[in-house]
């Protein structure tokens, strides 16, 4: 990872979540002062427990839907890494009201608070779900289709607000469209667990993972270390042409769910050979699911200097060990 940021004051919203806590860990290593804003609706206190004794870390327990919480958290901050959101396509279909309230209402409050506090740059988590039903592969930032879920709509609206605020108020924003991020601290529990930690948990318990559909749905799985690199690059890039833009954050390769399951079984069998023999089950397709996802990362490479180091296999080697030791 080439880009570095040191000795700054940075707010990470959703810092007790999977991606947020990984970002905080990196920032503290480089002598930054870090504020974590989280209401623990999906984030976990154990994710930030290692940082609580660090004098450069401050926990601001609060909700991005509360403007006063946003104003307090952003006071005196140089940069914002906005990770707070309610993720999951199925969750948004089951409860579009709360998803919209958090992902749009909370986003606008946080963005406006950052503008008022004269924050230097606001980098936010966007989503590959924004591409919707657009058929082109690989996905390029300027070509999107119809969103297929309330979650996808909220993440696209965030991009529109960021662009609008940049135009009207002059605040620098950069959006990062994450593609299926995985890594340590990703929650394997609950109804909306992501596929990799969920399947790992099931395989460790000798349970058959259930693939929705025929297993040929494909994703551009992205190790969290690549995401950290993209965020730091977005904070530090000096090229003005790179600011007020949206970028894909991925590895630039895709694997289908059958391939993913085979890799998981192979890597986990190094710890327990019995796992290799577990069979996979198939269930109905989920509403709102995109069939294939693959990112073009040319724009991020060109303007941000983004160079992802971890393929699916290389990232899983690290992630699987963490899961084996922590589940």
The runs of H, that is alpha helices, within 101-194 are 107-116, 150-169
Residue 87: the pLDDT is: 86
Residue 201: the pLDDT is: 93
pTM: 0.94
Cβ atoms of 117 and 74 within 8 Å: the answer is: yes
Residue 199: the pLDDT is: 94
Instruction: Please give the angle made by the CA atoms of 62, 68 and 231, to the nearest 5 degrees.
Output: 60
Residue-by-residue DSSP string for 53-86? T-TTEEEEE--TTSHHHHHHHHTT-SEEEE----
| Other residues' Cβ atoms within 10 Å of the Cβ of residue 234 | 29
CATH number, span 9-182+222-252+289-310: 3.40.50.720
DSSP letter at 294 equals -
Cα→Cα distances 252→180, 255, 310, Å:
12, 10, 11
Catalytic residue flag (residue 161)? no
Given the residues 124, 151, 178, 247, the one annotated as active site: 151
Residue with tokens 């963005």, as numbered in its chain: 111
Going residue by residue through the chain, which has 327 residues, state the pLDDT in tens, using 9 for 90 and above: 567 899 999 999 999 999 999 999 999 999 999 999 999 999 999 999 999 999 999 999 999 999 999 999 999 999 999 999 998 888 999 999 999 999 999 999 999 999 999 999 999 999 999 999 999 999 999 999 999 999 999 999 999 999 999 999 999 999 999 999 999 999 888 666 689 999 999 999 999 999 988 999 999 999 999 999 999 999 999 999 999 999 999 999 999 999 999 999 999 999 999 999 999 999 988 777 778 889 999 999 999 999 999 999 999 999 999 999 887
Domain ranges of the chain: 9-182+222-252+289-310
Cβ atoms of 19 and 181 within 8 Å: the answer is: yes
| Other residues' Cβ atoms within 10 Å of the Cβ of residue 135 | 9
Cβ atoms of 311 and 236 within 8 Å: the answer is: no
Residue 291: the pLDDT is: 84
């Amino acid at each position: 990872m080439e880009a570095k940021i040191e000795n700054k004051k940075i707010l990470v919203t959703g810092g007790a979540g999977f991606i947020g806590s990984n970002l905080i860990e990196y920032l503290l290593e480089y002598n930054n002062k870090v504020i974590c804003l989280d209401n623990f609706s999906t984030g976990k206190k154990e994710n930030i427990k290692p940082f609580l004794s660090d004098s450069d870390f401050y926990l601001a327990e609060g909700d991005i839907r509360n403007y006063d919480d946003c104003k307090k958290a952003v006071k005196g901050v140089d940069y914002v890494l906005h990770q707070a959101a309610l993720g999951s396509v199925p969750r948004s279909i089951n409860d579009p009201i709360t998803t919209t309230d958090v992902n749009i209402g909370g986003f606008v409050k946080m963005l406006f608070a950052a503008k008022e506090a004269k924050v230097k740059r606001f980098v936010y988590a966007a989503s590959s779900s924004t591409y919707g039903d657009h058929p082109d592969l690989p996905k390029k930032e300027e070509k999107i289709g119809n969103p297929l879920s309330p979650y996808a709509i909220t993440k696209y609206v965030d991009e529109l607000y960021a662009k609008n605020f940049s135009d009207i108020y002059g605040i620098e924003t950069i959006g990062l469209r994450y593609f299926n991020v995985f890594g340590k601290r990703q929650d394997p529990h609950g109804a909306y667990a992501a596929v990799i930690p969920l399947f790992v948990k099931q395989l460790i318990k000798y349970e058959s993972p259930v693939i929705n559909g025929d297993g040929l749905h494909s994703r551009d799985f992205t190790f969290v270390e690549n995401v950290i690199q993209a965020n730091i690059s977005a904070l530090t890039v000096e090229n003005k042409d790179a600011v007020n833009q949206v970028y894909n954050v991925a590895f630039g390769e895709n694997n289908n769910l059958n391939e993913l399951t085979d890799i998981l079984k192979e890597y986990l069998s190094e710890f327990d050979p019995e796992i290799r023999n577990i069979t996979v089950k198939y269930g109905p397709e989920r509403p709102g699911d995109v069939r294939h996802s693959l990112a073009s990362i040319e724009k991020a490479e060109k303007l941000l200097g983004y160079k992802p180091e971890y393929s699916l296999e290389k990232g899983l080697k690290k992630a699987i060990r963490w899961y084996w030791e922590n589940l």
